[in-house]
Amino acid sequence: MRPRLRRRNAAPEKHDPFGTQVPDGLWLKCPRCRELVYSREFERNLSVCPRCNYHARLSARQRIASIADPGSFVEWDAELVAADPLGFRALDEPYPQKIQEARRRSGEREALVTGAATILGVPVALAVAEFGFLGASMGSVFGEKFARAAERAAADGRALVAFASSGGARMHEGVFSLFQMPKTIVAVEALASARLPFIAVLVDPCYGGVTASFATIADLILAEPGAMIGFAGPRVIEQVTRQKLPSGFQSAEFLLEHGMIDAIVPRQHLRDELARFVRLLTGYRRPSASPVTRRESTP
Ligand SMILES: [Zn+2]
C-alpha cells in the first residue's frame, strides 16, 4: 500500500486527508520525491505532486468535484445503510460500531457514492468508491448501490463511469459480500443491453473482489498513473508461488504493457478524456444553443 502524504504541522487527530479545509501556510511532504509542496498548490493540482506526478488519494466527494460539472451531481440512494446479517465482531468490536466509526471518519454513509452528473455537458452516471470508508470494501450496500446505478443509467440512457478503488470484499458481511461480485457483473449487463458504455477508472489501490468483478469487465478500463491494481497483494503471491515477482508488478504501467487495461490517464486530463470517450462511444452531441448556431455550423 502506498504511503500517504504527510502534512507538516497538522493536528494529528484531524482526519482530513488532503481535504478542502487546509489552513493557510501549510506544507505537505510528498512521500515519493520527499519535496515540500505548498498545500494550496497541491490542491489546485488535484492532489497530484507538481514535482514528481505522484497521485495522492482523493475522497469520493473530491473525485466527484474534480470530474463533474459544478452543481450537476445529484446523488442516488444515499439513504442505504448496511445491516449486520451475521452479528459480526472483529477484535471484540461489533460491525455496527465499526460502521459508525467509518461514517464519522469519512463523512459518508457507505463506501460507494452514486449519482447522476454531467462531464463537460455530457450526461453520465457516476459510481465512486470511498477508500476512507472501511477501505472501500464491497459489502451488500456497495453492491446494491452499484447495481442500482447501472440499472438506472441504462434506464436513463446514461453511460456509467465507475471509479474503482477497494481493499476487496467486506469480511464483516461474509458470504453476503461475495454475492456482490456476480450481482455487480449482472447489473452491468443492463448497460450492454441498452448499448450504453461502462467505463471503469481504476485508482490506487484497487484489489480483491472489486478487481475480480465489475472493475475489470468494463468496455473501457482506464487507470491513474502509478495505481496499484490486482487481486491478491504481491506479498501473498510471492509466498504462494515462491517466485520473485518482476519489478513494477501490479502497477498500472505494468498492466497496460500486459494488456489488462486500455489506457493510463493522468488526473489532470481525466475529465476531458472521460467526456471525449463517452461522446465517442455514445455518439452524444451537445444540443445546439439556437437554430442560428446550428445553421452556421452546417457546411
Ligand atoms: Zn513528489
Question: How does pLDDT run across 161-210, given as a tens digit for each residue?
Answer: 999 999 999 999 999 999 999 999 999 999 999 999 999 999 999 999 99
Identify the domain boundary among 56, 82, 98: 56
**219 domain residue, yes or no:** yes
* 18 Cα to the center of ligand 1, angstroms: 14
**Residue 188 to residue 161: CA distance in whole angstroms:** 11
- Distance between Cα 257 and ligand 1 center (Å): 24
20 and 68: one domain? no
Decide if pLDDT at 278 tops 80: yes
Ligand 1 geometric centre to CA of 53 (Å): 6
Average pLDDT over residues 14-43: 72
Residue the block writes with cell 452516471: 125
Same domain membership, residue 109 and residue 35: no
What is the Å distance from ligand 1's center to 3 Cα?
A: 12
68 and 187 in a single domain? The answer is: yes
In a shared domain, residues 75 and 37: no
CA distance 35 to 22: 18
Residue 148 alpha carbon to ligand 1 centre in Å: 38
Answer yes or no: are the C-beta atoms of 120 and 272 closer than 8 Å: yes
Structural domain boundaries, residue 183: 58-285
How many structural domains is the chain composed of?
2
DSSP state of 78: T
pLDDT attached to residue 17: 45
Q: Ligand 1 centroid vs 213 CA: distance in angstroms? A: 32
If you measure from the C-alpha of residue 31 to the centroid of ligand 1, how many angstroms do you get, rounded to a whole number?
Answer: 7
Q: Do 49 and 70 fall into the same domain?
A: no
Are 225 and 264 in contact, with CB atoms under 8 Å apart? yes
Average pLDDT for the chain = 89
* Span 110-125, pLDDT tens digits: 999 999 999 999 999 9
**Domain check: are 132 and 17 in the same one?**
no
76 SS3 class: strand
- Residue 37 Cα to ligand 1 midpoint, Å, equals 8
pTM > 0.75: yes
The CATH number that applies at residue 124 is: 3.90.226.10
User: Do the bridges between strand 220-223 and strand 263-264 make them parallel or antiparallel, or are there none, so unpaired?
Assistant: parallel
> Ligand 1 mean position to 10 CA, how many Å?
19
Omega before residue 205 within 30° of 0, cis: yes
Q: What distance in angstroms lies between residue 5's CA and the mean position of ligand 1's atoms?
A: 9
Which position has the grid cell 472493475? 215
At residue 90 the predicted structure's pLDDT band, cuts being 50, 70 and 90, is confident
| Total residue count of the chain as it appears in this document | 299
Cα 267 to middle of ligand 1, angstroms: 15
Query: Separation of 71 CA from ligand 1 center, angstroms?
Result: 31
Q: Are residues 68 and 40 in the same domain?
A: no
The pLDDT score that the predictor gives to residue 2 is 54
Q: From 30, 56, 82, give the residue that closes a domain.
A: 56
